[in-house]
């Protein structure tokens, strides 16, 4: 009997030891002086985003839009404000197109109190992105992580200069990705967030809890639609921002391919109506009469199913493929006409300014 009790006690001690090794938090709870004295659990650890703010905020700058006085062309006055993000130690700063579009002079104020006159490298109305450059050294650069995929529910922080109050941080979550049709200037995919974005935040940084750039803040729903709302704001995704920035630095503008068609996604019902077995594609509903597609032999009610060997799924997909094509190149496209495939060779044009 004594041997049985000894074995049981030994097994109990060994089990307790294994549990303490496997779950270290049990040790702190068992041996915490506060818990022992007060009979209460430890105070929960405080949740803070200060690490992310410390990493990202030095790279978010204030931008002031200055214009010449209509009555005195020698006098400049500040007409607008916004924010920007330092993307490179070479002095490249990304902001919104609408922040600097009408500016005669752009002033950039860093968080370390340095002030610079910025050079406008290029601007793109469609994506609402502009690139500035300042001549400076020891610049803080926003942390970048190309491998970070924004996901609905991720906590994000919006950093900018709302109403010229000074740098301000708000937080929320990513509410949706791939929002389109909300741009001031055309079709554009956005990240949607409930982090507050007010006037002056435009062009500032949307970052994750590691301080890495997620997007460039561009507008609230109210700014885009004049509808009174709260908690609906938009940002331009980092990947698109980086791509447009590189194009603006290389060419001073974004060169996009153009074929000049207007289309509508096809569905199974429409496929039967047009006597086509092909379900995926777009139906050509209209064309620029002097555009590349018209010159190549496209006709209204053709069903476009392939561009340069890539299958067509919808109108967004067509725009994405075509805008990446270099103007002046010939590209094969496949259409269904009267239910039969037909190949057309299109000379890609340069998208006109809108």
Average pLDDT, the chain: 82
Instruction: Give the CA distances from residue 260 to residues 127, 286, 301, 331, in Å, rounded to whole numbers and listed in that order.
Output: 19, 9, 15, 14
Residue 27's contacts (CB-CB under 8 Å, 6 or more residues apart) are 20
For 304, the 3-state DSSP assignment is: strand
Domain contains 289: yes
Assess if residue 85 is contained within a domain. Answer: yes
What's the confidence (pLDDT) of residue 49? 93
Active site residue 128: yes
| pLDDT at position 313 | 83
**pLDDT higher at 219 or 281:** 281
Domain boundary among 133, 152, 182: 133
Predicted confidence (pLDDT) per residue in 112-139, tens digit: 999 999 999 999 988 899 999 999 999 9
C-alpha dist (Å) from residue 235 to 20, 46, 273: 47, 29, 40
User: What pLDDT shows up at residue 12?
Assistant: 57
| Range from 12-21, 82-91, 140-149 carrying the lowest mean pLDDT | 12-21
Residue 216 in any domain: the answer is: no
Looking at the domain assignment, is residue 168 inside a domain?
no
Distance separating alpha carbons of residues 135 and 116, to the nearest angstrom: 8
Rounded to whole angstroms, the Cα distance separating 246 from 253 reads 10
At 248, give phi and psi (nearest 5°): -65, -40
Catalytic residue among 124, 128, 189, 302: 128
CATH number, residue 278: 2.30.42.10
Is 113 catalytic? The answer is no
- Identified catalytic residue from 57, 83, 98, 189: 98
Name the packing angle between helices 24-31 and 2-22 (round to 10°).
100
* Residue 280 tokens, joined: 């995926």
**H or E element in which residue 50 lies:** helix 50-56
pLDDT at 144: 95
Question: Looking at 57, 183, 202, 220, which residue is catalytic?
Answer: 202
What is the DSSP pairing of strand 115-124 with strand 190-193?
unpaired
The mean per-residue pLDDT over the stretch 208-227 comes to: 77
What pLDDT, in 10s, does the model give residues 183-198?
444 445 789 999 988 8
Residues forming a β-bridge with 345: 332
* Predicted pLDDT of residue 228: 57
DSSP 114-165: -EEEEEEEEEETTTTEEEEE---SS-------TT----TT-EEEEEE-GGGS
* Known catalytic membership, residue 220: no
Which pLDDT does position 260 carry in this prediction?
Answer: 92
Band of pLDDT at residue 258, cut at 50, 70 and 90: very high
Mean pLDDT lowest for which of 35-44, 119-128, 264-273, 343-352?
35-44
pLDDT at 222: 52
Strands 115-124, 129-133: pairing kind: antiparallel
pLDDT of residue 182: 45
Among 65-74, 238-247, 328-337, the range scoring the smallest mean pLDDT is 65-74
When comparing pLDDT for 222 and 123, which is higher? 123
Is position 30 within any domain?
A: no
Residue span of the structural domain in which 337 resides: 257-350
**Considering its fold, how many domains does the chain have in total?**
2
């Amino acid at each position: 009997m004594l041997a049985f009790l000894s074995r049981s006690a030994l097994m109990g001690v060994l089990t307790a030891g294994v549990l303490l090794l496997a779950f270290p938090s049990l040790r702190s709870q068992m041996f915490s002086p506060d818990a022992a004295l007060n009979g209460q659990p430890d105070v929960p650890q405080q949740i803070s985003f200060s690490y992310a703010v410390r990493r990202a905020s030095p790279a978010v700058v204030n931008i002031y839009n200055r214009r010449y006085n209509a009555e005195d062309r020698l006098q400049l006055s500040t007409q607008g404000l916004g924010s920007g993000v330092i993307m490179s130690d070479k002095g490249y700063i990304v902001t919104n197109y609408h922040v600097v579009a009408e500016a005669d002079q752009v002033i950039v104020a860093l968080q370390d109190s340095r002030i610079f006159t910025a050079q406008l490298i290029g601007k793109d109305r469609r994506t609402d992105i502009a690139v500035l450059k300042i001549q400076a050294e020891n610049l803080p650069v926003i942390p970048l992580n190309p491998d970070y995929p924004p996901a609905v529910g991720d906590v994000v922080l919006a950093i900018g200069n709302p109403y010229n109050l000074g740098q301000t941080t708000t937080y929320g979550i990513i509410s949706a990705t791939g929002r389109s049709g909300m741009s001031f200037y055309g079709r554009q995919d956005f990240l949607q967030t409930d982090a507050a974005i007010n006037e002056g935040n435009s062009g500032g940084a949307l970052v994750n809890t590691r301080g890495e750039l997620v997007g460039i803040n561009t507008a609230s729903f109210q700014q885009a639609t004049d509808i009174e709302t709260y908690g609906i704001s938009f940002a331009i995704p980092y990947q698109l921002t980086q791509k447009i920035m590189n194009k603006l630095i290389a060419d001073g503008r974004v060169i996009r391919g153009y074929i000049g068609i207007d289309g509508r996604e096809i569905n199974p019902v429409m496929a039967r109506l047009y006597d086509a077995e092909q379900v995926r594609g777009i139906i050509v509903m209209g064309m620029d009469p002097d555009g590349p597609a018209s010159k190549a032999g496209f006709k209204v009610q053709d069903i476009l199913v392939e561009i340069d060997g890539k299958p067509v799924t919808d109108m967004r997909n067509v725009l994405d493929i075509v805008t990446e094509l270099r103007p002046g190149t010939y590209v094969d496209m496949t259409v269904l006409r009267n239910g039969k495939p037909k190949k057309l060779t299109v000379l890609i044009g340069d998208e006109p300014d809108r």
